[in-house]
Amino acid sequence: MGFSEGGRRAAYLAAMDDRVRATVVSGYFSSLPTVIASWENLSKWDICNYVPGLLRYADLIDILALISPRPLLIQIGTQDPLGVYLQLQSNHRPLGSTCAQLLLPLLDNIQLFEGGHILYEEGVYEWLEEQMRLDR
């Protein structure tokens, strides 16, 4: 489980290691072009998102698609200044590759909440406990 930069780390870890049984990505569901565009709003501090050459082959949704079919909870605040919620409502959803488009419906849950760039704790620990109890 991780929030913001920690959400990115949780996503990459779960994508690369199938020992991770369930993942919560909070405050970090977007596309790289959207994240890069938001750097201007964030005073260009966000070098943590830079993976050399990644966009030639994949986007963030492709990384998340690698987690499937394991449980994944994505939390998105409707007032998050990174613009993720607005992007989801637009015609330019962060779907990435055809592979990601096919796998996106397999995601367990996208939890929208009223709020900004925060970790929304309501129900998240219970969801994780439930996922860990399931015999997988």
The domain 2-92+107-116 is placed in CATH, from the list 3.40.50.150, 2.40.320.10, 2.170.120.12, 3.40.50.1820, at: 3.40.50.1820
* pLDDT attached to residue 93: 47
- Which residues are within 8 A (CB) of 135 and not within 5 positions of it... i.e. 6 or more apart? none
* pLDDT attached to residue 38: 63
pLDDT-flagged residues of the chain (< 70): 34-49, 83-108, 135-136
The DSSP call for residue 113 is E
Question: Domain residue spans in the chain?
Answer: 2-92+107-116
List strands edge to edge, sheet with 2-3. 2-3, 23-26, 72-77, 109-113
* pLDDT attached to residue 28: 81
* pLDDT attached to residue 128: 92
* pLDDT attached to residue 60: 80
> In the structure, how many helices (H) and strands (E) does the chain have?
7, 4
* pLDDT attached to residue 40: 62
Residues pairing with 72 in the sheet: 23
